[in-house]
Amino acid sequence: MFSLQSILGSESCEQVLMFILARSQGYPTEIANFFKVSKLPIQKQMAKLEIGNVLASHLVGRTRLYQFNPRYPFLKEVKALLEKALTFYPESLQEELRMNRRRPRRAGKPL
């Protein structure tokens, strides 16, 4: 389900942006696993978006975590476009994208 592919130019770009819009942050493996695609195109797209200042990243342990760059001048407008496009996704996918555990989980806690 890709609603902006024709203007973004690639599925991976839309997947990255939608994931980060929904969850505020993400890393390549996580996004590739979510959409069940290979990691390489996602990784390349994230690097490209970072060079273009759309995304910014920082290391957390050994993971490079990406988020929207708050200094990107078109951020508000890009987010508005993505928000609208997200409403065209199937409800189940919208829910899945937005549903992630944000509260802390104590180390060693059984399921």
Partner 1 sequence: MKPIANMTQPEIGALVVSHLKKVGIPVVLSGGAVVSIYSHAKYVSKDLDLVDIYFHKKSKIMDAMSEIGFVEYGRYFKHPDSEFFIEFPPGPLSVGAEPIREIIQKEYTTGVLMLISPTECVKDRLSAYYHWNDQQSLDQAVLVAANQDINLNEVRRWSEQESKLAEYNIFLSRMKS
In the complex with partner 1, the residue whose CB is nearer, 70 or 110, is: 70
User: Considering the complex, what minimum distance in angstroms separates the CB of residue 32 from partner 1?
Assistant: 25
Site string for partner 1, 50-89 (x = CB under 8 A): -xxx----------------xx-xxxx-------------
Count of residues of this chain found to bind partner 1 when the rule CB under 8 A is applied:
9
Residues 75, 68: contact at Cβ < 8 Å?
A: yes
In the complex with partner 1, the residue whose CB is nearer, 53 or 63, is: 53
In the complex with partner 1, the residue whose CB is nearer, 73 or 110, is: 73
In the complex with partner 1, the residue whose CB is nearer, 44 or 93, is: 44
User: Considering the complex, what minimum distance in angstroms separates the CB of residue 8 from partner 1?
Assistant: 17
Cα 58 to Cα 68: distance, rounded to the nearest angstrom: 12
